[in-house]
Each structure stands twice: as C-alpha cells, then as structure tokens.
Amino acid sequence: MEPGGLEWLLVPVQQLVSWGAAGAMVFGGVVPYIPQYRDIRRTQNAEGFSTYVCLVLLVANILRILFWFGRHFESPLLWQSIIMIITMLLMLKLCTEVRVSNELNVKRRSFAAGDSKDEEIKTPPKRSYLDFDLNYFWHWSKFTDYVQCVLTFTGVTGYITYLWLDSSLFVETLGFLAVFTEAMLGIPQLYRNYQNRSTEGMSIKMVLMWTSGDTFKTVYFIVNQAPFQFSICGLLQVFVDIAILLQVYLYSHYPQKPVSHTAHPASTKAL
C-alpha cells in the first residue's frame, strides 16, 4: 500500500481519537455523580453526600473559566468547567430539597437578608444581610440562596479579574488557585480515613474510577500542552487518589479499630 493510502486512513482515525478524548474530558468528570444523583433521588437521603464537594468544585471551575479569559487553553477544558458547574448546581438543588423535606426544624436559613415570614424571629435579626455564621454557611433552606452565593462570588471574582487581567502574575496565580482547589478535593477524605483508621462505607470501584479518571485527565493535560498549573495539580490529584487507594487496602486487610459512628456509603469525594 502506498504511503498516501496509509495517511488517508490514519488521519480520520486520529481525528476520531482526538474527538473521543475531548468528549471524555468534557463529560468524564460528571459521570461519577450520575449514580450519586440517582441514588439520592431514589432513597430521598442525602446524608452520604457532602454539599461542600459542590462548593469546592463550583469555586474551582468558576476560577478556571475566569483564568481562560487571561490565558486561552483547550476548549474541552473550558466546556468541562461549564458542564461541571451545571452538574453541581443540580446536585445542590436535589440535596437541598431532600434535606429540607427531612428536617424537623423548619426555621428558614438563608444567604440573603432575614426572612420576614420566619415565625421564630420576633425581633430584628442580628444578621442584617449575609449569614456568615459558620454553623449555617452553605447549609441554607432554599436552592436560590446557593445560586445567590455563587452569583455573588462570580461577580466579585469576575470584577477583580477584569481589573487585573493585564497582570500575568495575577492570571497565572488565578489558574493555579483554580486547579489547586480541585486537586485538594480528596484531602479531606484522606484525612477522615486516617482519623477513623477505616474506609468502611467507601467503594473500591469508585476509588478506582477516581484514579483512572484523574490519570486520564493528567495525561490529557500533558499531551495537549495545557498550562503547567493543570499538569502539576493533576499529578497531585493522582497521588492523593493512590494514597486513598492504599488506605482502602491497608485498613481492609489490617483493621486498626472499629468505627464508632454510622458510616454512609461514599460514592464521591467527600468533605
């Protein structure tokens, strides 16, 4: 076969592989949350999933999108952030509805000004506008409060980014913060396992999905010459996944102590 014939065959194959990799990059990150969403919807129980996961991923992906305005990177990475933000908002909406429907305390907790319909408040609320009480932050009663918080964060960081967009130091730092925040997603789970000396309730299949997904993502960063922040933090994320995988092996084969609390099945990185 002539060289030209081989090129005619290889070019479409390479293009197909490239499209497949880009598609996996865009949608692969949300795949683990699909069974989680369906399970919460089916059982009407969201205790096994921490909404702080949504907070971390929302912050990380909003910062990544802002980073794109200062330094354009691969389009699939931009679309991945958009899809992830939509997914996390859907998770927040479901978890909030389920949690509120199961709560005995119906007192309104909000991000914005106190609710005048709150029957428990007879005097003007101490929190005049924002509720910065750490006991109730990101634990509000309506999905709209989370949307207000996300929009406020986006507006403030977007304005700051607009002012400093010409500073390469700011732009590079913004990119690092975006991917570093996401890379730290597994650290709380790692620390929780260490504290409990147990990984009871964790799925070994899910940990393997984390590791394989983060490995693919890191290789994609390196092959497509994404900004160096992506590659460095991707490698860090893989190391954290491997450490959790080692915990699963060690604590299952060499149990340290019985778990004193009720463990909930964990099918995602939890805070």
Going residue by residue through the chain (271 aa), what tens digit of pLDDT does each one get?
Answer: 455 556 666 667 666 766 777 777 778 778 878 887 888 888 888 876 778 889 999 999 999 999 999 988 888 889 989 999 999 999 999 999 998 888 765 555 666 655 444 444 444 444 434 445 566 788 888 899 999 999 999 999 999 999 999 999 999 999 889 888 888 888 877 887 888 787 765 667 777 877 888 888 888 888 888 888 888 888 988 898 899 888 888 887 777 655 444 444 444 554 4
Q: What is the pLDDT of residue 4?
A: 53
Q: What is the pLDDT of residue 50?
A: 77
What is the distance between the alpha carbons of residues 202 and 189, in angstroms, rounded to a whole number?
10
Q: What is the pLDDT of residue 11?
A: 63
Which DSSP state fits 115?
A: P
Q: Indicate the length of the chain as a whole number.
A: 271
Q: What is the pLDDT of residue 159?
A: 96
What is the distance between the alpha carbons of residues 142 and 24, in angstroms, rounded to a whole number?
33
| Side-chain-side CA neighbours of residue 115 (13 Å) | 14
What is the distance between the alpha carbons of residues 271 and 128, in angstroms, rounded to a whole number?
29
Cα Rg of the chain, angstroms? 22
* Integer angstrom CA distances of residue 52 from 7, 18, 21, 163, 269: 49, 34, 29, 29, 10
Alpha helices in 103-227 (DSSP H): 143-163, 168-183, 187-196, 204-223
Q: What is the pLDDT of residue 154?
A: 96
C-beta atoms surrounding 162 within 10 Å: 10
